[in-house]
Amino acid sequence: MKLLFIGDIVGQPGRRAVAELLPKLRQQHTLDFVIANGENSAGGSGITPKTAGEIFSAGVDAITSGDHLWDQKEVMELLQNEKRFLRPLNYPPGTPGQGSAIFRCSVEPVARKTGEMPPVAVLNVQGRTFMPPLENPFLLALDEVKRLREQTKIIFVDFHAEATSEKIAFARMLDGQVSAVVGTHTHVQTADEQIFPGGTAYLSDAGFTGPHESVLGREIEPVLKRFLTNMPQRFEVAKNRVLLNGAVIDIDDATGKAVKIQRISESFA
Ligand SMILES: [Fe+2]
Ligand SMILES: [Fe+2]
């Protein structure tokens, strides 16, 4: 099966790029399933039922998140009611929402030559290096993957983390046990896509989907001013050179191992 992962969708420009480009990408890559990180989809900070609804309507099957989870209070509704929305697994016990889910079909079914789509598990985990402290992502992911593997071998992991060392170590730990580990959070796409010896596809960071004439999706001037003066600034979402960044992963249905990983960076406006 073929799966597309879309890196952090930033604001309205990011949401528009997904809506406009995804139908074409679905066809071009004969995608079976689409996952997107939506933590910056509401004005660059957080996610709401409205922005999540737009992303799902564009043809995304599952939305992951990260440290910007709590930026919009309406996220509570998503955490409580939306089964296709994931938050990092390693929040303390009792936190609303879920860190993983198993999907049995795609919102936009495609004619598959290989028959019915196998169940796809999606897992969202957050790193701890240069990030707010959460429960140990390594220990929790090991247990969760063991549990998910009882239901499917096709497991995609969005590891939302800052440090490449933490990302690589985490993915190496899961090599052979999950189909892919793709990093998010830095908003900078890395060029280290590879398949580890055990069959796990890996990319340190998918990059972000939104305006790249920017600092990580925000207007350049206020960010620069903050670095120059240390005074708080309003960071508006930038506008120009919108890219959809992510990766397409080809997975063997029978073994759950990755066959190919290809980075994508599609220009929209
Ligand atoms: Fe983040
Ligand atoms: Fe982000």
Contact predicate 183/206, CB 8 Å? yes
Q: Residue 229 in 3-state DSSP?
A: helix
Please report which confidence band the pLDDT of residue 107 belongs to, taking 50, 70 and 90 as the band edges.
confident
Report pLDDT digits (tens) over 48-67: 999 999 999 999 999 999 99
pTM score, whole prediction = 0.97
**207 residue type, one letter:** G
Instruction: Locate the DSSP E strands across 117-217.
Output: 120-126, 155-160, 180-184, 194-195, 201-203, 210-211
pLDDT above 80 for 110 = no
- Which ligand ends up closest to the CA of 130? 1
Centroid of ligand 1 to alpha carbon of 136 (angstroms): 17
pLDDT above 80 for 114 = no
Q: What is the mean pLDDT of the chain?
A: 97
Centroid of ligand 1 to alpha carbon of 40 (angstroms): 8
pLDDT above 80 for 203 = yes
The residue count for the chain: 269
User: What is the CB neighbour count within 10 angstroms for residue 201?
Assistant: 29
As to burial, measured by CB atoms within 10 angstroms (0-12 exposed, 13-18 middle, 19+ buried), residue 173 is middle
Task: Say what the pLDDT of residue 156 is.
Answer: 98
pLDDT above 80 for 109 = no
pLDDT above 90 for 185 = yes
- Which ligand ends up closest to the CA of 44? 2
Please report which confidence band the pLDDT of residue 206 belongs to, taking 50, 70 and 90 as the band edges.
very high
Centroid of ligand 2 to alpha carbon of 108 (angstroms): 26
Centroid of ligand 2 to alpha carbon of 205 (angstroms): 11
pLDDT above 90 for 133 = yes
Contact predicate 33/103, CB 8 Å? yes
pLDDT above 80 for 269 = no
- Which ligand ends up closest to the CA of 9? 2
Task: Say what the pLDDT of residue 113 is.
Answer: 74
User: Where on the phi/psi map is residue 49: left (φ > 0), alpha (ψ -120 to 50), or beta?
Assistant: alpha
Contact predicate 209/227, CB 8 Å? no
Centroid of ligand 1 to alpha carbon of 67 (angstroms): 5
**131 residue type, one letter:** M
Q: Is 68 a catalytic residue?
A: yes
DSSP string, 4-32: EEE--B-HHHHHHHHHHHHHHHHHHTT-S
